């Protein structure tokens, strides 16, 4: 019997979670072997390992409990990897030595696959005095560029990628530069960025008051709070960043507020963590806990839920002892507080199974009840563990129970904690589950709505051909199995049609019983008015959310996969004036090369790379088409013979691309993204990750000067050769892993529906 509910589930298991030899030979013959491997490894710290191995296996069986990917892939393999998903690094000192010590720690953590968060608010602003060296500070953004290059280098070594989060306080003098940093499409690609929003700032926004930007007690300047808020909103409206973190609310609600201060989160925002904080993740699959779906008496099995939660908490607590850590400071922090992040996936599917419309007030009340039940079960299970194994070392009963989150907990739970202590300081978190939800049979992800009822996925075969398969949402497939092709009821809604404020209602309902935070993306239509967009964030603040992340498809962010409810696959279409398309809809055929005139106008640029004996000369010649100048050919020359082969190759390739016409601005973006593992250089006060990136920058400046590009990091002013190749609107960007046009923003992560690739690792 095949345990997988869909072909994509087995493919995800094989690609990401199946234990294999270094040469790819499978060690886990079946998914049951994977479950057994995990159960055995996490039970080994128990006094009765055989009993608990059986219990753990039962929880994993049929995808009821889903440990996060690092646990599923790493537990029981004896490999030198961390089982923790999330890290926030140590506080960055405001000194050159301290900054680069933190960079080294970040590299070691990312080498083991951990996603990291950093607060860059502790670095003095650009232009501030640097005492003792008679110089001005370069500011936190310049050091973020260094972190970005480090992350690229780690990726080049073949390590599993861990994403990065950068935060900055809303009162830092460089906050406006931070807000707009990612408007440059080639900058800080390895980072998610979020602004730490304080309660006084929100009060000033609502009162349209003034706001001081300061560092180390010194006020650098004063701005209108509402203007700064609008800049944040405009940035995320235009290019989906920065995110917003309500940091004072997080610290007030923190169970550990008496012994830690939080200033950053992990990359997807669901884990606010102190310096060197780490958290492991896992999810209860609610879609597997509704025994009579779509029947009049359909309901979540609360008894099974309580039992499953208790087992999951014990498994996750054991991970704290079983896991390796990149740094000793992380191991000490984890052992002192034993933080875990138990969440859910399949919420939207479970709501459909009991006949409720995601986003409705009824569904929000039901979500509140289910998350309340999970919180109760988790806290009581942790109390039982404290009776058996002792509470977490920094437990202080009175201080713990006086925290914001615990003040709302049920009195019987509070009394149990007061009497026996608790094993884990924090227990609940809603994490991104994009990949594990596919592994579990394409259940709805986290607390997100169903993304699409069905879509067509192209699968690359070993012989290079592609086959197509339909990927159906788990609840929709259950409906089909039960009722055939009977029309879906009206309460079936998905992310394509859901109103943004319905998203906020569901996030707020879940947040009440989540002691950490929630990774959730609020999908907004492309044509949403800016004022309506801002209302989403204000509603998130007013309704008690700890943060807010939105996604509005546009020309900068790219559009998510277009899904039509007749389940036809999106296809690439060509303009009728162009060459007819070949039969395969996933191939774009370029036009024949443009003819070269006898004479061309152009410009030559001298590029002096630090520590290089000879300069590089870049000549770009242009052609006039449609009354506009556009690049036609490139020549790259240098006296340094070590450069000869690659400069000739780059000259030929770039010129060939330019002569085909169309939108060639991607050449700039690709060149600027190239990094040199040996290190880049500081040029003109900006860190450039490689000599190829520097060439990309020179080319970009030329294209701006001739009016081909709008500006640095920006797209075309217009495409005079747009008739050559035309693509379906809303197609978006291709997956960097499998190349399919199947990316969608889920829980703050750009995730591929075809291969499960996620920006967040």
- Hey, which residues does 744 pair with through a beta bridge? 751
The structure tokens listed for 381 are: 């299970």
Residue 618: helix, strand or coil by DSSP?
Answer: strand
User: 266 an active-site residue?
Assistant: yes
Largest CA distance in the chain: 90
Beta strand 681-683 pairing with 686-688: antiparallel
Phi, psi of 456 (to 5 degrees): -95, 130
Range of the domain at 611: 601-705
**By C-alpha distance, which of 474, 505, 509 is closest to 492?**
474
User: Within 13 A of 220's CA, how many CA atoms are on the CB side?
Assistant: 16
Q: Is residue 222 assigned to a domain?
A: yes
Distance CA(207)–CA(258), nearest Å, equals 31
Taking the C-alpha atoms of residue 320 and residue 280, their distance in angstroms, rounded to an integer, is 8
Side-chain half-sphere CA neighbours of 626 within 13 A: 12
| Tokens representing residue 511 in the block | 């947040």
**Averaged pLDDT in 10-residue chunks for the chain of 761 residues:** 85 92 91 97 95 98 95 90 88 94 91 85 93 82 91 59 86 97 83 96 98 96 98 93 96 96 93 94 97 95 98 97 92 96 97 97 98 98 98 97 92 98 97 90 95 80 70 94 93 90 97 94 92 97 95 66 39 28 32 69 85 82 77 86 82 85 80 77 78 89 83 52 31 57 68 68 53
| Residue 458 to residue 586: CA distance in whole angstroms | 9
Q: Tell me whether strands 115-119 and 164-169 are parallel, antiparallel or unpaired.
A: parallel
Which of the listed residues 225, 253, 281 is the one where a domain comes to its end? 253
589 falls within a domain: no
Domain end among 705, 727, 743 = 705
Total domains in the chain come to 2
Question: Residue 615 in contact with residue 606, Cβ under 8 Å?
Answer: yes
Domain's final residue, options 253, 284, 299:
253
Closest to 477 measured CA to CA, from 11, 1, 12, 9 = 9
Are the C-beta atoms of residues 589 and 621 closer than 8 Å to each other? no
DSSP secondary structure letter of residue 17 = I
Q: Are 65 and 311 in contact (CB under 8 A)?
A: yes
86 in Cβ contact with 341 (< 8 Å): yes
Q: Does residue 48 fall inside a structural domain?
A: no
From the candidates 192, 251, 266, 318, which is the catalytic residue? 266
Using left for φ > 0, alpha for ψ between -120 and 50, and beta otherwise, residue 121 falls in alpha
Please state at what angle helix 361-389 crosses helix 500-511, rounded to 10 degrees. Answer: 30
Q: By the 8 A CB rule, do 149 and 675 touch?
A: yes
486 CB-near residues (< 8 Å, 6+ apart): 479
3-class SS string, 311-367: HHHHHHHHHHHHCECCCHHHHHHHHHHCCEEEEEECHHHHHHHCCCCCCCHHHHHHH
**Rounded Cα distance, 154 and 673, in Å:** 14
**Contacting residues for 604 by C-beta, under 8 A, at least 6 apart:** 617, 618, 619
E-strand ranges in 473-626 read 522-523, 547-548, 550-551, 601-607, 616-625
How far apart are the C-alpha atoms of 588 and 573, rounded to whole Å?
9
SS3 554: coil
- Let me know how long the chain is: 761
Q: SS3 of 194, please?
A: strand
Give this prediction's pTM.
0.78
**Residue 270 annotated to the active site:** yes
Whole-number pLDDT of residue 142: 93
- Look at residue 242 and tell me if it is in a domain: yes
Whether 163 is in a domain gets the answer: yes
CB atoms within 10 A of CB 408: 13
Residue 428 included in any domain: no
SS3 sequence, 70-110? Answer: HHHHHCCCCCCCECCCEEECCCCCCCHHHHHHHHHHHHHHH
Nearest to 447 by CA among 358, 360, 512: 358
Q: Are strands 278-285 and 340-345 parallel, antiparallel or unpaired?
A: parallel
Quote the pLDDT of residue 733. Answer: 59
Catalytic residue, from 151, 268, 752, 760: name it: 268
Classify residue 661: in a domain, yes or no: yes
Burial class (CB in 10 A: 0-12, 13-18, 19+), 628: middle
Helix (H, G, I), strand (E, B) or coil at 37: helix
Q: Classify residue 75: in a domain, yes or no.
A: no
Tokens 């999908």 identify what position? 523
């Amino acid at each position: 019997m095949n345990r997988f509910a869909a072909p994509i589930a087995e493919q995800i298991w094989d690609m990401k979670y199946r234990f294999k030899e270094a040469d790819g030979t499978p060690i886990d013959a079946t998914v049951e072997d994977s479950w057994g491997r995990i159960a055995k490894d996490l039970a080994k710290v128990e006094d009765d390992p055989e009993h608990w191995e059986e219990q753990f296996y039962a929880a994993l069986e049929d995808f009821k409990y889903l440990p996060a990917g690092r646990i599923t892939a790493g537990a029981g393999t004896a490999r030198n990897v961390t089982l923790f998903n999330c890290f926030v690094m140590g506080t960055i000192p405001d000194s050159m030595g301290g900054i680069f010590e933190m960079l080294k720690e970040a590299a070691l953590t990312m080498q083991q696959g951990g996603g990291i968060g950093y607060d860059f608010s502790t670095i003095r602003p650009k232009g501030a005095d640097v005492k003792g060296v008679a110089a001005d500070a370069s500011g936190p953004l310049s050091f973020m560029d260094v972190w970005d290059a480090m992350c690229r280098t780690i990726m080049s070594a073949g390590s599993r990628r861990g994403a990065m989060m950068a935060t900055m306080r809303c009162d830092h003098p460089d906050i406006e530069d931070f807000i707009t940093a990612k408007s440059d499409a080639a900058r800080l690609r390895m980072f998610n960025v979020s602004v730490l929003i304080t309660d006084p700032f929100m009060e000033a926004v609502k009162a349209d008051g003034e706001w001081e930007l300061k560092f180390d007690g010194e006020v650098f300047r004063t701005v209108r709070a509402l203007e700064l808020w609008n800049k944040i909103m405009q940035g995320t409206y235009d290019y989906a960043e920065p995110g917003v973190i309500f940091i004072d609310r997080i610290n007030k609600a923190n169970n550990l507020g008496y012994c830690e201060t939080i200033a950053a989160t992990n990359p997807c925002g669901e884990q606010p963590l102190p310096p060197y904080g780490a958290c492991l993740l896992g999810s209860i699959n609610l879609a597997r806990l509704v025994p009579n779906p779509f029947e009049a008496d359909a309901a979540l099995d609360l008894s099974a839920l309580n039992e499953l939660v208790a087992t999951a908490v014990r498994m996750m607590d054991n991970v704290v002892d079983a896991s390796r850590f990149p740094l000793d400071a992380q191991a000490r922090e984890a052992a002192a507080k034993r933080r875990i992040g138990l969440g859910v996936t399949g919420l939207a599917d479970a709501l459909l199974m009991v006949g409720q419309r995601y986003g409705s007030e009824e569904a929000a009340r039901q979500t509140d009840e289910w998350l309340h039940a999970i919180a109760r079960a988790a806290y009581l299970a942790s109390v039982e563990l404290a009776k058996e194994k002792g509470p977490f070392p920094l437990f202080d009963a009175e201080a713990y129970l006086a925290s914001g989150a615990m003040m709302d907990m049920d009195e019987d739970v509070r009394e149990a904690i007061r009497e026996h202590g608790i094993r884990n300081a924090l227990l609940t978190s809603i994490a991104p589950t994009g990949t594990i939800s596919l592994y579990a049979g394409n259940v709805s992800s986290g607390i997100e709505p169903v993304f699409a009822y069905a879509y067509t996925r192209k699968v690359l075969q070993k012989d290079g051909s592609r086959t197509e398969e339909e990927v159906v949402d788990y609840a929709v497939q259950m409906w089909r199995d039960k009722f055939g092709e009977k029309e879906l009821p009206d309460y079936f809604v998905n992310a394509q049609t859901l109103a943004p404020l319905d998203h906020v209602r569901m996030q707020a309902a879940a947040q009440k019983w989540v002691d950490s935070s929630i990774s959730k993306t609020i999908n907004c239509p492309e044509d949403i008015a800016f004022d309506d967009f801002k209302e989403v964030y204000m509603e998130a603040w007013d309704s008690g959310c700890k943060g807010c992340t939105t996604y509005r498809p546009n020309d900068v962010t790219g559009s998510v996969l277009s899904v039509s409810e007749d389940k036809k696959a999106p296809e690439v279409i060509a303009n009728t004036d162009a060459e007819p398309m070949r039969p395969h809809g996933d191939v774009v055929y370029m036009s024949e090369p443009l003819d070269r005139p006898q004479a061309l106008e152009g410009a030559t640029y001298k590029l002096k790379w630090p520590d290089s004996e000879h300069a590089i000369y870049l000549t770009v010649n242009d052609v006039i088409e449609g009354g506009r100048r556009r690049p036609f050919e490139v020549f790259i020359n240098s006296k340094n013979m070590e450069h000869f082969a690659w400069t000739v190759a780059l000259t030929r390739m770039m010129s060939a691309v330019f002569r085909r016409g169309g939108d060639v601005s991607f050449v700039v973006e690709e060149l600027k993204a190239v990094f040199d593992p040996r290190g880049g250089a500081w040029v003109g006060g900006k860190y450039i990750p490689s000599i190829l990136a520097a060439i990309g920058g020179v080319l970009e400046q030329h294209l701006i000067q001739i009016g081909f590009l709008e500006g640095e990091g920006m797209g075309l002013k217009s495409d005079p050769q747009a008739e050559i190749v035309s693509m379906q609107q809303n197609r978006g960007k291709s997956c960097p892993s499998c190349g399919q046009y199947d990316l969608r923003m889920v829980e703050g992560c750009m995730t591929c529906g075809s291969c499960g690739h996620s920006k967040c690792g």
